Structure 1
Amino acid sequence: MTGKRIVVLGGAGFLGSHLCERLLEDGAAEVISIDNFSTGSERNLAELPRFGRFQSLRHDITAPLHIRGPVDYVFNMASPASPLDSMQLPIETLRVGSLGTENGLLLARDKDAVFLQASTSEIYGNPLVHPQREEYWGNVNPTGPRSCYEEARRYGEALVSAYRRTHGVQTRIARIFNTYGPRMRLEDGHVVPTFVGQALRGEDFTVFGDGSQTRSFCYVSDVIEGLVRLALSDCTEPVNLGNPREMTILQLAEAVRQVHGGSSRVLFQPLPRDEPRQRRPDITRARMVLDWEPYVSLEEGLLSTFAWFRKVTSRRTPRHEDGLASAPL
């Protein structure tokens, strides 16, 4: 990415801000973050101006995008990214996945830039195939409580593919599985920050169902590495980015307890509707095409995540801005 001018849609979010930082570290000529801060945070970008080649623009990408000068890459990281966020912002989620994605594609078309769509494992829904390969079409309830996010992301992939076929836009599609690390929000509903927040507060772990549902957790730096490699490749097919190490939610709770210590117990709550029972990426394509696979262990990643949350929560009164609303993922 050395010498390239890059636009990151949703650059103030968890993944978006890490991507901006990585691109600047790699020598990008300029990185422009565009975010309306509905779920992203200015705090995530606080350290980036030190590079001197960074701009942060407050803008809702469902409105047209106008960037002066050349653009080499457009990364679309914009969307509420957790079931809790998307259920609280269902119309906004659908709009950013449709209008927002198209505005990003129009920018890439007009600038002759590479467009990378950060899609998600949620397009597989509650999968009937395990592990999930990119050829699998998914099992999604189009009117269920999770549908606004799942269908927005599926539509986004269709739109990206249509712009590649019709307008010749250079497109890439990353299907990102559960990712965790610094800059997540304790209150966003994902299971890792939920458990970390509960451990830090000395609370019991909230587990939905019997905890036997499985997930695969990938540390943020590994995912960012995959995104950069995908953008630099010529692969136009979707690529899974995630950690193939699969574990139950109960096993995750035990891992968090082992890293943090304490005596938190597990409290069981009813399983939400359409909760996926299994999630594990098949990363054969990523290994073959990108020479990529994750290498940060869960234990190492949890240590870094705990350290970051201890740092940021020590600056606040208890629960300030981080009151936990439990959610399954």
Structure 2
Amino acid sequence: MKKKILITGGAGFIGSHLCEFLSKDCTLEVFSLDNYSTGSEENHFNNVNYIKGNTKDIDKLIDFDIDIVYHLGEYSRVEQSFEDTKVVWESNKNGTFAVLEFVRKRKCKLLYAGSSTKFGDGGLGRSASPYAWTKASNTELVRNYGNWFNIDYAIVYFYNVYGKREISKGKYATLIGIFKEKMKNNSPLPVVSPGTQIRNFTHIDDIIKGLILVGNFGYGDEYGIGNKKSYSVLEVAKMFKDDIQMLSQRKGNRMSSVINTKKIESLGWSAQVDLSSYINTLRENNWEDL
């Protein structure tokens, strides 16, 4: 019997890389559940079973046992969450509650992707936006389900993930994705004021290695998967070029980040890809992610 793996958000940026990695293991049967709000069929891979739908309907859509759920399929943008509060609630509260109930009934392991926003600005970041609050409160709910119902769970935290297939256009675009697109078009790089916001940037390959380790061996909270090297947003922009356009400040934009990688490092993980080296490689390849 093959081990069955379910990845919510499996057609998205991080989820598609996880699907791609796991689909190469002949001992696994990989399933993706995605509503394609930000995911794409262009991110599909062979040997993955793709199911279209919302996580709030997981119990109807997945009528078979699963060994582990990687729950990555939530709304995941800070500034836009002020405009999308209904979508945030549907995805991050109703959807995650349904996933927890599914895991409780099916007695499978849950790996939940929390948000590092809750650690920002001395802990004040957890309530700085609808997105941050739903994610922070969900980590508490996951821990409680573990205690209440003896669920096998692990919670990971990502830190500004970048790499191939990240979103580079539209309101859900990532910072590095936006910069790559602007470089291709020879346009100024937009930086939200004041530009001194501190961030940790983590390559997708390092994220996937961490997810696999925690999925196989992790239990409990506090698995921060992030590169400990930090930069200001303005410093990152200047790694690309000096033609920078400063934008007005925005709600929910935290100034600092706190990163704790001790628990993931105890499993043998360490960040391997450096942002500056990645940008140099992009430059050599005319800003294409190969």
Alignment TM-score, normalising by the size of structure 1: 0.80
Report the residue type matching 2:157 in the other structure. R
Q: Does 1:140 align with 2:136?
A: no
CA-based RMSD: 2.3
Aligned partner of residue 65 in structure 1, secondary structure: helix
Give a deviation string over 1:99-141, Cα, whole Å, max 9, x none: 21121122222222110001111122x412xxxxxxxxx2137
Match of 1:13 in 2: 12
Tell me which residue corresponds to 2:59. 65
**Structure 2 counterpart of 1:149, one-letter code:** Y
CA distance in 2 between counterparts of 1:84 and 1:179 reads 17
Distance verdict in 2 for CA 1:236–1:283, change over 3 Å: same
The number of residue pairs the alignment matches comes to: 286
For the residues of structure 2 that align with 1:285 and 1:291, how far apart are their CA atoms?
9
AA partner of residue 34 (structure 1): L
Q: How many Å apart are 1:217 and its aligned residue?
A: 0.5
Kindly indicate whether the alpha-carbon contact (under 8 Å) linking 1:98 and 1:155 is maintained by their aligned counterparts in 2. Answer: no
Q: Is the 8 A contact 2:9 2:39 kept in 1?
A: yes
| SS of residue paired to 1:62 | helix
The letter for the 1-side match of 2:197 is Q
Tell me if structure 1 keeps the 8 A contact 2:78–2:253.
no
> Runs of 4 or more off by more than 6 Å in structure 1?
none
2:203 alignment partner AA: Y
Contact 2:92 2:134 in 1 (8 A): yes
- The alpha carbon displacement at 1:68 in A equals 3.4
Please give the alpha-carbon distance, in whole angstroms, between the structure 1 residues aligned to 2:96 and 2:89: 10
List aligned pairs for 1:268-307, cutoff 5 A: 268-288=246-266, 290-302=267-279
Q: Check 1:304–1:101 CA distance in 2 against 1; reply closer, same or farther (3 A cut).
A: farther
1:266 to 235, 240, 244: 244
**Could you tell me which residue of structure 1 aligns to residue 49 of structure 2?**
55
Whole-angstrom CA distance in 2 between matches of 1:193 and 1:203: 13
Which of 225, 230, 236 is 2:209 aligned to?
225
Matched, 1:199 2:177: no
Residue 96 of structure 2 is aligned to residue 101 of structure 1: yes
Q: Matched residues in 1 for 2:107 and 2:287: separation?
A: 40
Q: Which residue of 1 aligns with 2:234?
A: 250
Secondary structure in 1 matching 2:146:
helix
Contact 1:182–1:308, Cα closer than 8 Å, also in 2: no
2:142 matched to which residue of 1? Answer: 160
**Matches of 1:305 and 1:39, distance apart in 2:** 24
| Aligned 8 A contact 1:6 1:31 in 2 | yes
CA shift in 2, pair 1:113/1:302, >3 Å: farther
Q: 1:237 to 1:186 in 2, by over 3 A?
A: same
CA, structure 1 residues 179+95, in 2 after alignment: closer, same or farther (shift >3 Å)?
same
Identical amino acids, percent of aligned pairs: 23
Normalised by the size of structure 2, how large is the TM-score?
Answer: 0.90
Distance in 2, Cα, partners of 1:113 & 1:63:
17
The alignment partner of 1:106 has SS state of helix
Structure 1 gap ranges (5+): 129-137, 258-263, 313-329
- 3-state SS of the aligned residue for 1:140? helix
**2:121 equivalent to 1:127:** yes
Measure how far apart 1:190 and its partner are: 2.1
Structure 1 residues 85 and 44, CA gap change in structure 2 (3 angstroms): farther
Deviation at 1:23, TM superposition (A): 1.2
Q: Cα gap change, 1:141/1:156 in structure 2, threshold over 3 Å: closer, same or farther?
A: closer
Conserved? CA contact 1:182–1:309, under 8 Å: no
Q: Kindly provide the CA deviation profile for residues 159-218 of structure 1, in whole angstroms up to 9, marking residues without a partner as x.
A: 211211111110110011111011111122421111111111100111121322211100
Structure 1 pair 234/27, CA: closer, same or farther in 2 (3 Å)?
same
Whether the 8 Å contact between 1:182 and 1:305 is mirrored in structure 2 is no
Mapped partners of 2:179, 2:213: distance in 1? 31
Name whichever of 66-75 and 84-93 sits farther off. Answer: 84-93
| 1:223 counterpart letter in structure 2 | I
Distance 1:204 1:17, change over 3 A: same
Could you say which residue in structure 2 is the equivalent of 1:149? 131
